[in-house]
Amino acid sequence: MLPASNRLRRSDEFRRAVRSGRRAGRRAVVVHQLLRAGPAVEPARVGFVVNKAVGNAVLRNRVHRRLRAVMAAQLPNLPTGSLTVVRALPASASSSYDELADDVQGALRRLDTR
């Protein structure tokens, strides 16, 4: 589980990360990341978007739990002060944990190289 200090909660932060941040897409997820300018005092924060296109509530919750676990493992690798939003695509409903982890890690690697 993600610590409370690492969670995105406010809709304006989600909106800012999605609209102003960089984006990298894979088969099952799209990762949006906004790097803040200046000295970063805050920890990296992560939010998730899993909408009804993914499936029913059971599938959405499963995908959300898996993505949360993947990002908890990735927290030390995220830039300090960054806002990251992981948006699940409909293909994520049929993806295993390992496939989701590969997609998220690939998207994060792609964001790091830009």
CATH of residue 59's domain is 3.30.230.10
pTM above 0.95, yes or no: no
Q: Is residue 18 in a domain?
A: yes
Q: Looking at the 3D structure of the chain, how many domains does it have?
A: 1
- Return the closest-CA partner of residue 7 out of 49, 48, 46: 46
- Give a yes or no: residue 49 inside a domain: yes
Helix (H, G, I), strand (E, B) or coil at 89: coil
- Give the pLDDT score at 113: 78
Distance, in Å, from the CA atom of 114 to the CA atom of 59, rounded to the nearest integer, reads 33
Q: Which residue type, as a one-letter code, is found at position 25?
A: G
Q: Is residue 55 part of a domain?
A: yes
In this structure, is residue 83 part of a structural domain? yes
Residue 113 placed within a domain: no
Determine contact, residues 106/14, Cβ cutoff 8 Å.
no
The domain of 74 spans 4-108
- pLDDT tens digits, one per residue of 15-58: 999 999 999 999 999 999 999 876 667 899 999 999 999 999 99
Q: Which alpha helices (H) appear in the chain, and where do they start and end?
A: 11-20, 57-74, 97-113
CA distance 82 to 72: 14
Across the range 63-81, mean pLDDT stands at 94
Alpha-carbon distance of 47 to 38, in angstroms, equals: 22
Judge whether 65 lies within some domain.
yes
